[in-house]
Amino acid sequence: MRRKTLNEGNTMDLNRMIEDIKVHPDFHKAGMIASHLGIVRSFSRDGKAVSGVDVLFDSQKIEEIIRDIKSRPGIVEILITTNSGHLKVGDDIVTIMVAGDIRENVFPALIDAVNRLKSEAATKKEKVID
């Protein structure tokens, strides 16, 4: 059984995700796998120092995003793993992998998945260092 999301505390194994995609029954239709690995950075968008983040994900929203992206032309599979809770600088936050036929279908699907995950399924509070 292929994984769609991971619960807090599980590690994100990129090789395992690739193997999960490769056993998909329609993998023979794929010409590429694109991925995004979001990590906690040491500064906010406005340049302030950050010690970590508190982040929570809505699993129902994630499943909705997965369904929507998988319904696009040329998309074979999408896997999303998340880490929730208090995360430190350098910790993995989210991994998204999209497999599909051609880059003109896969890259936009990946970008939309990343943007939607952040705007619709994540609640994040950076811990700014004073």
Q: What average pLDDT does the segment 53-59 reach?
A: 96
Q: How far is CA 126 from the centre of its chain?
A: 19
SS3 66: helix
SS3 78: strand
Structure confidence at residue 12 as a pLDDT band (50, 70, 90): low
What does the pLDDT read at residue 10? 45
Q: What average pLDDT does the segment 85-108 reach?
A: 97
Distance separating alpha carbons of residues 62 and 19, to the nearest angstrom: 21
Q: Which domains does the chain have, with CATH numbers?
A: 14-128 (3.90.1170.40)
**Given a cut of 90, is residue 32 above it in pLDDT?**
yes
Q: How far is CA 48 from the centre of its chain?
A: 25
Residue 93 near residue 87 (C-beta atoms within 8 A): yes
**Given a cut of 80, is residue 41 above it in pLDDT?**
yes
Lowest mean pLDDT among 41-45, 76-80, 102-106: 41-45
Output b/e per residue, 39-48; b: 16+ Cβ within 10 A: ebeeeeeeee
Position with higher pLDDT, 9 vs 35: 35
**pTM: predicted TM-score of the whole model, two decimal places:** 0.87
User: Would you call 107 exposed, middle or buried from its count of C-beta atoms within 10 A (0-12, 13-18, 19+)?
Assistant: middle
Percent of the chain with pLDDT over 70: 91
Structure confidence at residue 130 as a pLDDT band (50, 70, 90): confident
**Given a cut of 90, is residue 1 above it in pLDDT?**
no
Distance separating alpha carbons of residues 17 and 81, to the nearest angstrom: 9
Instruction: Give residue for tokens 């998309």.
Output: 75
What does the pLDDT read at residue 3? 38
